[in-house]
Amino acid sequence: MPVADINHYLVRTTDIDATRDFYVDVLGLEETPRPNFPFPGYWLGLDGTALVHVALHGVDNSELYYIGSPADAATDNTGSIDHVAFVATDPKAMIERFSELGVNYRPRFLPESELYQLFVQDPNGVMIELNFFGITDISSWADEQVENYSTMPRTDT
């Protein structure tokens, strides 16, 4: 009975519409059907499958609804979680989208693993990692500021 896949994660937010817009307009997710929970929110995902649950911070009875996060979760970035990662496709198109929307991003590349990554923060400070697998050549479209994991200092402890 091992864990097989990620279902979704929940972001508590003080600005539910800006958060929804980020995941839809910037990352390309879409609204998916959401159960009739007793608090406002969105389920966002792909092909009818929810990946991100967005919920409004500061609602009455929040201690009943949000059992995995402290009262100040929406005002204190991601707490113990460093980032959430998605598999993505077409890194050049994603960079173009970020540029058009004025979204700051941080690119990284691990050539020997054929892995290109983009890091971007949602409106609540949650770090989002986009993983593009099978990328061997970035020379024709990548930013010169790409961080290369193979040249970063190593920590062996």
Nearest to 37 by CA among 5, 62, 58: 62
Number of domains in the chain: 2
Q: Give every strand in the sheet of 127-133, ordered side by side.
A: 84-87, 127-133, 115-121, 106-110, 147-148
Looking at residues 2-12, what average pLDDT do you find?
74
Q: 104 and 90: one domain?
A: yes
Are 116 and 141 in contact, with CB atoms under 8 Å apart? no
Are 122 and 78 in contact, with CB atoms under 8 Å apart? no
Instruction: Give the type of residue at 57.
Output: H
Q: Which of 35, 50, 76 is the last residue of a domain?
A: 76
* Rounded CA separation 41/55 (Å): 4
- In this prediction the pTM is 0.77
Residue 76's pLDDT is: 63
Span 38-84, pLDDT tens digits: 888 999 999 989 999 898 888 887 776 766 666 776 666 555 566 78
Share of the chain above pLDDT 70, in %: 85
Q: 35 and 87: one domain?
A: no
